[in-house]
A and B are shown apart, each in its own frame.
Chain A
Amino acid sequence: TQLLEQSPQFLSIQEGENLTVYCNSSSVFSSLQWYRQEPGEGPVLLVTVVTGGEVKKLKRLTFQFGDARKDSSLHITAAQPGDTGLYLCAGPHYGQNFVFGPGTRLSVLP
C-alpha cells in the first residue's frame, strides 16, 4: 500500500480541455509538493503547498491542499501539448526525505 495515491493513473485529452488530477493519503502531511516529469528527464518541482485549504496558481495550473492536509489536487485549464508529462505528488516523510505517489501520466493531443 502506497502512502500517497494518485488518480487517474493515465489521462489522455484534447488540447483546450480542462482536467483535474488528485493526490490522496490516509496520513496528514505538513506539506505536499507537485512535480512534473517530461520524457527522458528528471522531475521538476512545480509548487509546494503548506497550509490546509491553500490554493496556489501557476499560470493555467491551480493547486489546492485539502483542509485536513491529507489530499491535494491539480487543475489545468485549457490544456496544451506542452503540459504532457508525468505529474507526481510528494510529501515529507520522517523529516529527512520524501515519499512519492505513483504519478498521473497526462497526454494532451493537439
Chain B
Amino acid sequence: DVKVTQSSRYLVKRTGEKVFLECVQDMDHENMFWYRQDPGLGLRLIYFSYDVKMKEKGDIPEGYSVSREKKERFSLILESASTNQTSMYLCASSLWAGEDTQYFGPGTRLTVL
C-alpha cells in the first residue's frame, strides 16, 4: 500500500513565523503535490513537483515555497505566516503525471494566530 505521511496533524503558529510542512511518500512516486483545502473551495493546488529539485507553481503559490531535495520528500514552506494561511494542507503523490491516481496524506491543520 502507498503511504503518504505528513509531519504534523495539527500546528499552531504566530503571524510572521516561518513554517515548514513535511511530506514523505514510500512508493517511489515521481510526482508530489501540495494543496490547501478550505470549506466551499475544495482543494487548490499550491505547488507540484515532477522530479527531484523540480517545482512548478500551481494555482495559488503566493506566500509559499517548496523544496524537493530527495524523491520521497516534498516540503512546503511559509516564509512569513499570515492569518489567511490558516487552512488544511494536504500532500499527495502519484506515479506519473496526467490522469493517474493521487494518494493523499492525512493533512495538516495549520492555525496562524
Instruction: Give me the interface of A with B, judged by CB distance under 8 Å.
Output: 2, 4, 9, 30-31, 33, 40-45, 48, 50, 88, 90, 92, 95-103
Size of interface on B: residues with Cβ below 8 Å to A: 27
A100 to chain B, nearest CB (A): 4
What's the Cα separation between A101 and B35 when bound, in Å? 13
Chain B hits for A40, CB < 8 A: 9, 106-107
Flag if A44 contacts B104 (CB, 8 Å).
Answer: yes
Contact pattern, B 39-53, Cβ under 8 Å of A = 1, otherwise 0: 011111100101000
B101 to chain A, nearest CB (A): 5
A102 to chain B, nearest CB (A): 4
Chain B hits for A88, CB < 8 A: 42-43
B74 interface residue per 8 A CB criterion: no
Chain B hits for A4, CB < 8 A: 42
What's the Cα separation between A97 and B45 when bound, in Å? 8
Beyond A96-B56, A102-B42, 12 additional contacts (C-beta under 8 Å) are: A2-B42, A30-B99, A40-B9, A40-B106, A42-B4, A42-B90, A43-B104, A90-B43, A95-B97, A97-B45, A100-B35, A100-B42
Flag if A100 contacts B48 (CB, 8 Å).
Answer: no
B39 to chain A, nearest CB (A): 8
- Quick one: which of B41, B43, B90, B101 has the most chain A CB within 10 A? B43
